[in-house]
Structure 1
Amino acid sequence: MPPSDESKTWESSEKGKTFVKESIVIDFYAPPFGVGWNESSQLHRYMERAMESGITGASITLAPTYFTWEQFQKEHANWQNTMLQKPDNFLFVHSVEDIERAHKEGKYAVIWNNQTSTVIDGDLSKIAMLKAMGLSSMQLVYNGTYRAGDGVISYLHGTDRGLTSWGKKVIDEMVKHGIIVDLSHTGRNTCAGIITYMTDNYPGVPVIYSHSLPNGLYKDEPHATEKGCYRNITDEQALAAAKTGGVVSPTFTEWMMDGLWPDDITPKQCANMIDYYIKLIGVDHVGIATDDMFVLSLVKAFAEANPKAYDDDGYMMDAFAKGAEGCGELAKILPAVTDELWKMGYTNEDIAKVYGGNMMRVYKEVW
């Protein structure tokens, strides 16, 4: 099934469409080659839809789970080689000015992210090489147990040691080279340890949650689970990240919408996520993300092939089975989300901050 068939295009006002085109809009998603796409045409169709709708670019994950340095390099090459088939469409970001230029020229800004520190293969000097390759942000851990700390699935099963001594060394190198520390997928004790270490040693350097829903949003829904989706974060976690000057971005991903599991995530639901965080941590600390993975069949196959990384007692697969199969692709939903935010009383300035302005501030402060 082509990716264009996997998410709905929502009706919106012309004003909403124009606002998106005129704003800097930065997405986040995680569809590595073979996981979210396996044909170059899939990637190009997705990017062209984004460009046509005015999406400026995205923070794109290259490495999930337990990738090695060799796997990371291969993934980086897959993406770059595919994008270079249409070089006029893309701008590989190394600075904030590159994002501004992409927006001005109508190109797609490619901002690399990484969801695991295993890619350095125990060699801290490789972090400088990651920066040279254009890496902008990185999680220390993914779902499971890592040398640097523990992820949300380890936390789910009762293991969350907090930030380790190795994790502190990784952070030191990341800060040194201007790579943003990303806390999504990270166990609660490990998150707390990272923020404490950052606050004590690097005050004023912000951290982010690149794609994390608020655990409190759906807690009163009739079908909400007792603990909420294990991927989602508490109000206290969001507040702690905001206190560093960071940004928390809810993700327009259906299966993480605890207990709701809709056929299609709606613009109103996306706006509710944004509104929840704005009321909690302030409009200067909220972003957006889809965590889109393009093709569901590939995602399911990857999860089944990596049971250690997705041992969540069947939560994700159960949600898929009940209809939570997609994401709110920005090209198809963001103008309608804009209409909803206007209805809630948010100003153009507020919305522009959320769509990209706040992350641009963090990029300037860290890069």
Structure 2
Amino acid sequence: MRPTTAILSLFLLATTSCTHGSNRQETPASPASTDLAERSRALARRVIIADGHVDVPYRLHEKLGPDGQPTEDVSQRTAEGDFDYPRAMEGGFDVAFMSIYVPAELQTKPGASKALADSLIDMMEKLARTSPDKFAMAHSVEQARRNTQEGKVSFAMGIENGSAIEDSLENVAHFHQRGVRYITLTHSSDNQLSDASFNRGKRTWNGLSPFGKQVVAEMNRVGIMVDVSHLSDDAIRQAVELSQVPVIASHSSCRHFTPGFERNISDELIRALAAKGGVVMINFGSVFLTQAANDYERQVGEAVETFGKARGLTRGSPEIRTFLETYRREHPAPLARVEDVADHIDHVVKLVGIDHVGLGSDFDGVGPTLPIGLKDVSQYPNLFRVLLERGYSEADIEKIASGNVFRVWQRVESHAASH
């Protein structure tokens, strides 16, 4: 999801579709809690934190200057957004799977999806080149580990919306050569590869298309992880069955907590994904975490739809944006808390074990819906503190932070190298 269109993309498309935060404390911190907070910060500095979904590329793309270059410099502290280098250092953050997001509406314009994906990759490569002391590209687990040892934040890349492949199987290898290491097969609407979770009541393919099945095989062949976030249940089921290697859900939470919200992943599919060695990477957006937040966002979507239809407005118009801002201000959202993210991690662990859960924040993609205590990349230690309080070992947390997704990434690399 995108920073300025989270509610529109999520609910106007589904039904029709930062600031630095901290945990609130009701009582003064005790010496024990202070020690635990410091232990959490030290742990964040020691382990590699790899986040499966960070929307910096499209955040920068939405604010290009007259020269076509980003007007924000995330190598410095920024007033907006959830990611920049200083805050990443504060949070012990190491590896961002940067989302190469392709809007669904480009699918009707031949060539446009691939062109945008290539331009966003160009942007991230340029950012790494212009701040080589802070950022570096990571095309392998080995590179990511080396960059961390050198004190750099790694940019791994995942394409969000397989429409970037257009109708050419050769583009899978093209994007692998460009450094893409996962592809989310679809996004907010059905595309040429797969049905989407948001297209409820409409199923173009009843899962994956014939071409989508070829793409899964080609991703296995070249070494790109298959990402099943945003897919319909049938499409997820088929992708897991077809893939010869484990798959990931790069930014999905547990449907157990939000019944009826197909964008989250069901217990049945968590089990299927884990049985093949895959990883569910928990989304931090409040709408993914609690039923109250999910219901609120649905109400906002309905209000926006009613307002827009009554005035004949198109999605994304200034009037709708103003209405949305006013509505949110007058009707504050019931935000989740960092403990709710831990609840989703707990659920996956109890269901299938510690080896099948990771972090997929959706930073810069879910805007103001981030939970209290996890408002930006500086705050991963807050989550680690909650997990330590709940009895997770440091070795467990290291698996959640990066070990599990690195295992899948390496498995996919090894499979490609041996075939």
State TM-score, norm by structure 1.
0.82
What does residue 52 of structure 1 align with? Answer: 90
How far did 1:6 drift? 2.4
Equivalent positions of 1:184-223 (< 5 A) are 184-198=229-243, 202=244, 205-218=245-258
Separation of aligned partners in 2, 1:144 and 1:236: 23
2:58 aligned partner, one-letter code: F
- Quick one: which of 114, 124, 148 aligns to 2:193? 148
Structure 1 position 231 matched with structure 2 position 263: yes
Asked whether the equivalents of residues 26 and 59 of structure 1 are also in contact (C-alpha less than 8 Å), the reply is: yes
- Quick one: which of 233, 236, 259 aligns to 2:291? 259
Separation of aligned partners in 1, 2:346 and 2:41: 20
- Quick one: which of 195, 201, 209 aligns to 1:157? 201
How far did 1:121 drift? 2.0
Asked whether the equivalents of residues 124 and 155 of structure 2 are also in contact (C-alpha less than 8 Å), the reply is: no
State TM-score, norm by structure 2.
0.72
Change (3 A) 1:330 1:286: farther
Separation of aligned partners in 2, 1:249 and 1:329: 17
Asked whether the equivalents of residues 152 and 187 of structure 1 are also in contact (C-alpha less than 8 Å), the reply is: yes
Asked whether the equivalents of residues 250 and 289 of structure 1 are also in contact (C-alpha less than 8 Å), the reply is: yes
Asked whether the equivalents of residues 20 and 55 of structure 1 are also in contact (C-alpha less than 8 Å), the reply is: yes
- Quick one: which of 210, 217, 220 aligns to 1:172? 217
1:115-134 deviation per Cα after TM superposition (whole angstroms, max 9, x unaligned): 12211221111111111111
Structure 1 position 29 matched with structure 2 position 75: no
2:47 aligned partner, one-letter code: S
Separation of aligned partners in 2, 1:133 and 1:147: 22
Separation of aligned partners in 1, 2:187 and 2:238: 16
1:260-283 deviation per Cα after TM superposition (whole angstroms, max 9, x unaligned): 325544221221121111111110
Separation of aligned partners in 2, 1:237 and 1:9: 33
Separation of aligned partners in 1, 2:280 and 2:115: 31
Separation of aligned partners in 2, 1:251 and 1:7: 18
Identity among equivalent pairs (%): 26
Separation of aligned partners in 2, 1:104 and 1:42: 24
Equivalent positions of 1:74-85 (< 5 A) are 74-85=119-130
Separation of aligned partners in 1, 2:237 and 2:264: 15
What does residue 397 of structure 2 align with? Answer: 351
How far did 1:103 drift? 1.6
**Structure of higher CA gyration radius:** 2
Aligned Cα RMSD in Å? Answer: 2.4
Asked whether the equivalents of residues 37 and 294 of structure 1 are also in contact (C-alpha less than 8 Å), the reply is: no
What does residue 304 of structure 2 align with? Answer: none
| Worse-matched range after superposition: 86-95 or 8-17 | 8-17
1:93 aligned partner, one-letter code: A
Separation of aligned partners in 1, 2:165 and 2:186: 12
Change (3 A) 1:80 1:162: same
What does residue 226 of structure 2 align with? Answer: 181
What does residue 99 of structure 2 align with? Answer: 61
What does residue 301 of structure 1 align with? Answer: none
Separation of aligned partners in 2, 1:132 and 1:117: 16
Separation of aligned partners in 2, 1:143 and 1:33: 16
Unaligned 5+ segments in structure 1 are 220-226, 297-319
1:20 aligned partner, one-letter code: A
How far did 1:41 drift? 3.0
Separation of aligned partners in 1, 2:339 and 2:219: 37
How far did 1:230 drift? 3.3
Equivalent positions of 1:97-136 (< 5 A) are 97-136=142-181
Separation of aligned partners in 2, 1:157 and 1:185: 15
2:84 aligned partner, one-letter code: M
Structure 1 position 361 matched with structure 2 position 410: no
